[in-house]
Amino acid sequence: MKSAEEIFDILKKKFGDAVLSLDKDTPVEQIISIDPLKINLISKYLRENPELQFDSLMCLSGVDDANGIKVKDAEGNEIIEGGTLSVYYNLHSVSLKHKITLKVSTPRNDPQIESLEKIWKSANWHEREAFDLIGIKFLNHPDLRRILMPYDWDEFTEEISRHPLRKDYKNPEFYQGMKVPY
Amino acid sequence: MALKTEHMVLNMGPQHPSTHGVLRLELEIEGELVNKVTPHLGYLHRCFEKHAEAMQYNQVVPYTDRLDYLASIGNNFGYALAVEKLMGIQVPERVEYIRVIMAELQRIASHLVAIGSNGADIGALTPFLYLFRDREHILSIIEETCGARMLYNYIWIGGLSHDIHPDFVRKTKEFVNYFKPTIVELDNLLSFNKIFIERTANIGILPVDTAINFGASGPTLRGSGIKFDLRRDDPYSIYDRFDFEIPVGKGLMGTVGDCWDRYNVRIREMEQSLRIIEQAVDNIPEGDVQSAIPKRIKPPKGTVYKRVENPRGELGYFIISDGTVNPFRVKVRAPSFVNLEVLGELCKGNLVADIIAILGSIDIVLGEVDR
């Protein structure tokens, strides 16, 4: 069983700059920030290293950080420009019983993160969900489709109504000719 | 002589009685054999996570009821624990005991539906009715305390909505005594029924490695023979004070990790839940169940992931607080959502009729798959 500090030191020694920081200020979870394009290499190491053995991905959550600048677009809707979207990974080792939270942040205007589907199969649907609701693109994902929302949501809605869990989401007026705020 | 078969795509659901809600499965079949199963979700999607962002922390509790509507107490429990961890609230002993008893009663009620519908799906309709009769006892006990049969809004952040009914302890003991023999009856009626065993043993075998890699949890994971239960391995509330065992699949009727093992784990878990209730119900301390409820729920900035052992597996709440009265982000790691993903793996090479048995043994609730 290892603490977040020990795991951070092991990763820092192995991967150097790809491991960004350990957030000690948060009162409950300690979070290690990772480079979004190295997350698959680091995750593979976390799973396969005999000292760490993170064999299970408990949860994967996409988050809109809403840390950009609020501006008005041509139609007067308030949108967020710049800033980041993030994904949090809650990992857990069934055999060694330790836990860790990883975080990757990616720019809002071109959000891209390496998929972890090949390392933990449970990432598959979680990543589809983050793609669906937040709009993060997972590179090398085998089947990146919407999962909870209708498959044809994009065809009938404006850019601002694509991903409901973004903080500047606006309800579309119509979907397939049906009035949405009924 | 090999029979000529034809590749075919077959649609199952979303309104099929054995899909436990509105789940659509796209089956690619070769004769009777299934090559690929693609689940299509989202028919019950009602934006729980978006709603939660617009609510205050305490207003989210009734929404959590509607995730896994067969185990609402468990959902309330997990959410309350997550926010309490974020705020550093210590709840009174009385509250802890009542929460544990309620959660275990709910686990039995939930497993009764799971077992009953698993049987009903593959043709055993009688046990289903017997089990609903037993479940009614639990629902009445809970109804007497908090006024609702299924969606309780009972466990609040820092306490409970009501103290227990004066008759609660007596009725719970009565139920425990009533229910012990009915498990034996159920074993005779369904578990060791020749036809039921033929339909479930050696079907849908889930190896341990695959189960862990797919993130399966609860009876689906334990059916594969690994002793992993969050009540013991990541103890929360006061579960570390009670003496109980963790039933696992042993391959009694066939291979470890088959449908029968997953089914059997649920039955043996009900016995253990009864044990926990028996140990807890006599020791409920006196006190006020609402003394620790904060007047204004405004957690500090921070992130929390709290998981509890729900009847269907690991229910996790990932909450980000930005220091205001509304949560910044609430993500639910629903056990059914993750367990359902393994269905595609289990169904490969099985018969179409076995998909029903496999789906029933995974025991999903679409309310929490789609959120």
What confidence tens digit (pLDDT) does each residue in B271-291 have?
999 999 998 988 888 888 888
What confidence tens digit (pLDDT) does each residue in B16-49 have?
776 777 888 888 988 888 888 988 988 888 888 8
What confidence tens digit (pLDDT) does each residue in A146-175 have?
888 888 888 777 777 888 888 888 888 888
Q: Which residue blocks in B123-233 are alpha helix, DSSP H? A: 125-146, 168-186, 194-200, 208-213, 219-222, 230-233
Q: Which amino acid is at B148?
A: A
- ipTM of this complex prediction, to 2 decimal places: 0.88
pLDDT of res. A182 = 62
pTM of the model: 0.89
Is A121 close to B341, i.e. CB distance below 8 A?
yes
pLDDT of res. A68 = 77
For B324, the token pair is 């205001």
pLDDT of res. B112 = 92
Q: What is the mean pLDDT of each run of 10 residues along chain B (371 residues)?
A: 77 76 87 88 87 89 89 90 88 90 92 90 87 90 88 88 88 91 89 88 88 89 88 87 88 86 91 91 86 82 89 90 89 90 87 88 88 83
CA–CA separation, B221 and B228 (whole Å): 8
pLDDT of res. B13 = 76
Q: Which residue's structure tokens are 């809707």?
A: A77
pLDDT of res. B273 = 92
pLDDT of res. B104 = 92
Chain B residues with CB within 8 Å of chain A CB? 41-42, 45, 47, 49-50, 85-86, 88, 210, 212-215, 226, 228, 233-234, 300-305, 307, 314, 316, 318, 320, 328-329, 331, 333, 337-338, 341, 370-371
Which residues of chain A are modeled with pLDDT < 70? 25-27, 182
Is A55 close to B212, i.e. CB distance below 8 A?
yes
CA–CA separation, B336 and A61 (whole Å): 16
pLDDT of res. B265 = 92
Q: Is A53 on the interface with B (CB under 8 A)?
A: no
Interface of A with B in 74-103 (CB under 8 A): 88, 90, 94, 97, 101
DSSP-derived letter for residue A16 is G
pLDDT of res. B108 = 92
pLDDT of res. B317 = 92
The H or E element that residue B30 is part of is: strand B24-30
Chain B residues in contact with A63 (beta carbon < 8 A): 320, 328-329, 331
pLDDT of res. A143 = 87
Chain A residues in contact with B331 (beta carbon < 8 A): 59, 61, 63
